[in-house]
Amino acid sequence: MASRTVKRKSVVTDPVEPMVTPPPLSTDTTFLTKPKIAARSRKRDMPEGLWTKCPSCESLIYDKELDDNLKVCPKCGHHLPIGARERIHSLVETCSFEEMDAEMQSLDILKFTGAASYEAKLAAYKKKSSLLKDAVVTGVGVIGTHRVALGVMDFSFLGGSMGSVVGEKLTRLIETGSSRGLPVIIISTSGGARMYEGMFSLMQMAKTCGALALHGKLGLPYISVLTNPTYAGVIASFATVGDLILAEPAAMIGFAGPRVIKDTTQADLPEGFQTSEFLQEHGLIDAIVPRRDMRARLVYYLDFMMAGRRPA
Amino acid sequence: MKHHLDFEKPIAELQRKLEELKQHPENHSLGISWEEEIRLLERKIEDARRHIFSNLTPWQRVQLARHPKRPYTQDYLRLAFTGFEELHGDRMYGDDRAFVGGFAQIGDRKVVVIGTQKGRDTKENILRNFGSAHPEGYRKALRLMRLADKFGLPIVTLIDTAGAYPGVGSEERHIGEAIAVNLREMMLFNVPIIAVVIGEGGSGGALGIGVGDRVLILENAYYSVISPEGCSAILWKNRSAAPDAAAALRITATDLRQLGLVDDIVSEPVGGAHNDPAATAASLKDAVLRHLNEVSAQPVEERLRNRYRKFRSFGHVLEPSAQAA
């Protein structure tokens, strides 16, 4: 079956190459704190690619430290964006991830031209990232003791937007989960459907939900994890039909963007509107799980959800 | 009250002349009889209409789809269906009046029909929220579809919405989840489902009742992932490029048919649905019955397999490794 070509590619090695090679690890903590002072006096001289300013608490974090902490600010716990491959690496057992459809790429089926051509956009994004061919990475891997069908979206590729590739890769992933009797886990981050593919993008919503409908009929689990940000076409499809819906802390999650809502209703938005915490309060989210606890928590849930299927 | 779109103006002008002429039944100096003159003018109107409506741009079709005189769901319930009695409420939160639904008969078929409903005037538009539903609307639709499935009645959905409502209440009650659950459940119902886009097919709000064995669209309706204005605002950085966006997004009935995204186009009379609602309703009834009879003839398993395969097939991707293999 040509459609089931499984590309065996592991993410054993640290896939994210820092823009500048970090200096050797040192126990000298003065080295870590020094640029903070420098930054206060001469902000522009801050060496790029070595330090990141936390968007929440504004403290400077050494990139290596940030990477080791799964892109979570060690000072305030703010969750910064994390690439799909890095996230997969943080979840699966070493060498266990077999990537699927790694070569699948988007096609400018509508020959979308206008202010920007889709063709040019795609080319630019592919050039920018050698690690991503589109906005989702899918494959089968082992989390704890559970083999799972895992899909992880990446916001850095065209805002994580869902076009035919995202829809097709996720549908194949779900179908693989169904046929191999595996739980499906999808970790979302997306601005919504990809405009450039018009109605083909919208139809990916029905397609992925359809595949999940059949998956659910087999009594197999589907866990949806929402991360910052997840919106629109993705929130109105596979991301909200999980048996469990989890979210990272303080993620922005919603159907319509806050500005659209404000413009339409001319009303002030409530405090904390569209955050994970707000949505848990309003009954959508089962649990808010910090990134560094995610792996263990997924194992915990799967232990229960797969308990009935395990041979005694 | 008269509503004319810009491109309808030449027709409106001729119609005004005709009205004037009809008021003065007297012969004119040129030797043409009054009756003859009226006939000539009527012919001229017909010609103008034919000419204008055979050369519509995508943006003009969007305007037609939004025409304030265009027949809405309730008009079709009156003209194409019989015996409709509305059923209310989602049994959870409320009764979203942007949706109407209930039992009805179309031809000799008993069905459950559900549609989004716009208002005809300001007062009704406030009641109907301009046809943009909250989560409870989609949940009411789901409840009625479950009712249909339980009692073996086919489902007909009529889609006419600019989109699901982007408001605080919508988000607090999880509009995304309401739509997504419908997408999942509609794939599993045993009964036949026919979805018809009768006016605006606004993105997820339209798709939320749009998963069918057959998806039909009226000739001057549109169905789009984003409104042309929204697309224009994002990609062109201003809303005035909406006509360009409407063309680029390929949202007209003919475009969607060519792309294989809809199964059939329901033709409208020359001049658009609002020019002759009864004829449009007859055309819709005919198409719905034809497709309903076709999918009803399929065994349940086959129908469900076809429904899944249809939506499964949507999308175009490039696979270098598969091509090499």
**Torsional sign, CA A32, A33, A35, A39:** positive
Judgement on whether residues A75 and A86 belong to the same structural domain of the protein: no
A123 CB near a chain B CB, below 8 Å?
no
Which chain B residue lies closest to A243 (C-alpha atoms)? B181
Q: Are residues A111 and A73 in the same domain?
A: no
Q: Which two tokens stand for residue A104?
A: 């699948």
Domain closes at, from A58, A80, A102: A80
Q: Does A150 have pLDDT greater than 80?
A: yes
**Residue among B185, B171, B155, B187 at smallest CA distance from B296:** B155
CA atoms of B177 and A286, how far apart (whole Å): 13
Within a domain: A133: yes
**A contact test, residue of B317, B321, B323 with most A CBs within 10 A:** B317
Measured between beta carbons, the chain B residues lying within 8 angstroms of A163 are 315
CATH number of domain containing A139? 3.90.226.10
Q: Is residue A3 a part of any domain in this protein?
A: no
Residues A134 and A257 in one domain: yes
Task: Count Cα atoms within 13 angstroms, Cβ side, for A220.
Answer: 22
**A33 pLDDT exceeds 60?**
no
Print the domain residue range for A167: 82-305
Under an 8 A CB cutoff, do B235 and A195 touch? yes
Which residue carries 């000072």 as its tokens? Answer: A75
Please name the amino acid found at residue A295: R
Distance from CA of A27 to the nearest CA of B (A): 47
Distance (Å) of CA A256 to CA A23, A45, A188, B161, B175? 43, 39, 16, 16, 9
Cβ atoms of A163 and A207 closer than 8 Å: no
**Are the beta carbons of A110 and A198 closer than 8 angstroms?**
yes
Instruction: Show which of residues 196-215 on chain A sit within 8 Å of chain B, judged by CB atoms.
Output: 197-207, 209-214
* Predicted local confidence at residue A47, as pLDDT: 59
To 10 degrees, the CA torsion angle through A99, A103, A109, A113? 110
Cross-chain residue pair B176–A282, CB shorter than 8 Å: no
Name which residue leads in pLDDT, B48 or A310.
Answer: B48
- Please tell me if residue A282 touches chain B, with a CB cutoff of 8 Å: yes
Residue B187, min C-alpha distance to chain A (Å): 6
How many domains is chain A built from? Answer: 2
Is residue A122 exposed (0-12), middle (13-18) or buried (19+ Cβ within 10 Å)? Answer: buried
What phi, psi does B85 have (nearest 5°)? -125, 125
B183/A210 Cβ within 8 A: yes
Over range A37-58, report the average pLDDT: 69
Question: Nearest chain B Cα to A169, which residue?
Answer: B317
Of A209, A270, A283, Cβ closest to residue B184: A209
Detail the DSSP E strand segments found in chain A. Answer: 51-53, 60-62, 98-100, 105-106, 136-143, 146-153, 184-190, 222-231, 244-247, 253-254, 287-288
Tell me if B171 and A167 make a contact (CB, 8 A cut-off). Answer: no
Q: CB contacts < 8 Å between A and B, how many?
A: 213
Q: What does chain B come to in residues?
A: 325
Question: Based on the domain organization, do A142 and A279 belong to the same domain?
Answer: yes
What is the rounded CA–CA span in Å between residue A278 and residue A312?
Answer: 41
Domain shared by A70 and A207, yes or no: no
Residues A197 and A281 reside in one and the same domain: yes
Long-range contacts, B35-44 (Cβ 8 Å, 24+):
B41/B14, B41/B17, B42/B18, B44/B14
A94 and A75 part of one domain? no
Pure H helices in B24-57: 34-53
For residues A150 and A267, state if they share a domain. yes
Expressed in percent and rounded to 5, the helix, strand and coil fractions of chain A are: 40, 20, 40
- Contact state of B180 with A236 under an 8 Å Cβ cutoff: yes
Count, residues in chain A: 312
Mean pLDDT over residues A164-178, rounded? 98
CB contact under 8 A, A264 and B166: yes
Distance CA(A232)–CA(B204), nearest Å, equals 8
Q: What's residue A40's pLDDT?
A: 45
Any domain includes A31: no
Looking at the domain assignment, is residue A30 inside a domain?
A: no
Query: Would you state the structure tokens that stand for residue A264, as one six-digit string?
Result: 């339409």
Task: Inspect the interface and report whether the beta carbons of B174 and A265 lie closer than 8 Å.
Answer: no
- Is there a domain that residue A16 lies in? no
- For B317, the closest of A165, A235, A260 (CB atoms) is A165
End of a domain among A39, A63, A80?
A80
In the prediction, which pLDDT does B1 show?
47
Type of residue found at A183: P
Q: What is the pTM of this model?
A: 0.90
- Is A6 contained in some domain? no
* Domain assignment of residue A158, yes or no: yes
Cβ(A250)–Cβ(B192) under 8 Å?
no
CB contact under 8 A, A107 and B237: no
Interface of A with B in 142-181 (CB under 8 A): 163-165, 167-168, 171
Distance from C-alpha of B240 to C-alpha of A242, rounded to nearest angstrom? 39
- Minimal CA separation from A53 to chain B, in Å: 28
Q: What is the mean pLDDT of residues A180-196?
A: 97
Give the nearest chain B residue to A231 (CA atoms).
B176
* Per-residue tokens: A258: 């806050």
A27, amino acid identity: T
Same domain? A76 vs A201:
no
Same domain, A161 and A176: yes
Q: Is the peptide bond before A15 cis (omega within 30 degrees of 0)?
A: no
- Residue A76, chain B, CB below 8 Å: the answer is no
Q: Is residue A277 domain-shared with residue A129, that is, in the same domain?
A: yes
- The chain-wide mean pLDDT, for chain A, equals 87
The residues of chain B scoring below 50 in pLDDT are 1, 324-325
Q: How far apart are CA B176 and CA A248, in angstroms?
A: 18
**A223 located within any domain:** yes
The predicted structure's pLDDT at residue B33: 82
Q: What is the pLDDT of residue A310?
A: 56
Supply the pLDDT for residue B55.
87
% of residues, chain A, pLDDT over 90: 77
Question: Is the pLDDT assigned to residue A311 strictly greater than 70?
Answer: no
Single-letter code of the amino acid located at B268? E
pLDDT score of A31: 46
DSSP code string of A281-295: HTT--SEE--GGGHH
Helical H segments across chain B, by residue range: 9-23, 34-53, 58-65, 73-79, 122-128, 135-150, 168-172, 175-186, 203-207, 228-231, 242-248, 253-258, 277-296, 300-312, 320-324
**Co-location of A55 and A158 in the same domain:** no
Question: Rounded mean pLDDT of A26-32?
Answer: 45
